[in-house]
Amino acid sequence: MFLSSIRVYNTIVSRSFRLTMATRQSSDTAKFKEHLDGAKEVVILSGAGISAESGIPTFRGAGGYWRKYQAASLATPEAFHTSPSLVWEFYHYRREVAAKAQPNAGHLAIADYEKKNGANKKITVITQNVDGLHKRAGTNNLIELHGNLYKTRCTKCKEVLENTDSPICEALANRGAPDSNVVGSDIPVKSLPHCRKPNCGGLLRPHIVWFGEGLDPIVLEQAGAAMSSCDVCLVVGTSSVVYPAAMFAPQAAQRGAIVAEFNIEPTPATPDFHFYFEGPCGTTLPKVLSAN
């Protein structure tokens, strides 16, 4: 009886929250387009939601497992130090999944908007995603906050290089399947990707910002500069809970920029924004951007 009452209460609260959102945020497409038309600088801030529509696992929340491991536990410097082979299997799997995925209508709408309006407006796409789908869709002015699956960084000389080889090394061929019966990795470290620079040969790691690591100061400065001067910001498919990106759009709204959120459901930051468009990004974004 008690649990049933809690469920009813939670349902009422959820409905009340959504009704409150509907009264505080506008979903007037024509009105938002007016703001977009008049903007000199536009920022599009994207997160895992837009890539999920292309079949990319988000690896967040209760379902974020690869094999028996919570995916987030493998995205750390400590995990790589302890078992670089296991971490490389995980990232090889992610590279292969992303390589097979295709940019969806949301990615394409953003790239098309930049192509048509880039000569008259400063348009910047800031993404938390590492799958490269924005670039493949045709986006040019792109800031990747958390790195890229198809870049490596040498742990010795620190050189960052693009690498789209599949597999990235022979030892990883046909490895990385999310089989929960597989424990650990038996790939020798010497067989993992290594730096090819003469007199280096250091072990390569994915050029990804892992948990416990800070963003690249240059990348963070670029993103901050774009956010601090934009007239309009589109928040696309992000839960607005991962910092520092989570503070970007609310701060822009506080200084007077028009902010519109595109998500399948409200987020903790929704009350801070002027517009809220509910639904898949591949459906809502083309409607707003196609005519601009």
Task: Supply the pLDDT for residue 18.
Answer: 42
Task: Supply the pLDDT for residue 288.
Answer: 96
Lay out the sheet containing 204-208: strands in order across: 160-162, 147-154, 204-208
Q: Domain ranges in the chain?
A: 25-56+103-145+215-292, 57-100+147-208
pLDDT tens digits for range 96-128:
999 999 999 999 999 999 999 999 999 999 999
16 is in an annotated binding site: no
Architecture of domain 25-56+103-145+215-292: 3-Layer(aba) Sandwich (3.40)
Task: Say yes or no to pLDDT of 8 above 80.
Answer: no
In one-letter notation, the amino acid at residue 142 is L
Residues 146, 194, 207, 274: which is the catalytic one?
146
Task: Say yes or no to pLDDT of 292 above 60.
Answer: no
What span, in angstroms and rounded, lies between the C-alpha atoms of 28 and 277?
9
Query: Is this model's pTM higher than 0.95 or not?
Result: no
Q: What DSSP designation does 191 have? A: G
Task: Say yes or no to pLDDT of 12 above 60.
Answer: no
Task: Say yes or no to pLDDT of 234 above 90.
Answer: yes
Active site residue 81: no
Q: Which pLDDT band holds residue 291 (cuts at 50, 70, 90)? A: low
In one-letter notation, the amino acid at residue 15 is R
110 is in an annotated binding site: no
Q: Which pLDDT band holds residue 268 (cuts at 50, 70, 90)? A: confident
278 is in an annotated binding site: no
59 is in an annotated binding site: yes
Task: Say yes or no to pLDDT of 197 above 80.
Answer: yes
Return mean pLDDT, the chain: 90
- Give the mean pLDDT of 78-104: 98
Contact 59, 72 (CB under 8 A): yes
Domain spanning 57-100+147-208: CATH superfamily = SIR2/SIRT2 'Small Domain' (3.30.1600.10)
Question: Which range has the worst mean pLDDT, 21-25, 171-175, 208-212, 273-277?
Answer: 21-25
Task: Supply the pLDDT for residue 243.
Answer: 79
Q: Which pLDDT band holds residue 63 (cuts at 50, 70, 90)? A: low
User: Using alpha carbons only, how large is the chain's radius of gyration in Å?
Assistant: 21
pLDDT tens digits for range 33-52:
999 999 999 999 999 999 99
- Give the mean pLDDT of 258-275: 93
Question: Helix, strand, or coil here: 167?
Answer: coil
Percent of the chain with pLDDT over 90: 80
8 is in an annotated binding site: no
61 is in an annotated binding site: yes
27 is in an annotated binding site: no
User: Tokens 């503070």 appear where?
Assistant: 247
91 is in an annotated binding site: yes
pLDDT tens digits for range 131-183:
999 999 999 999 999 999 999 999 999 999 999 999 999 999 999 999 988 98
Task: Supply the pLDDT for residue 246.
Answer: 84
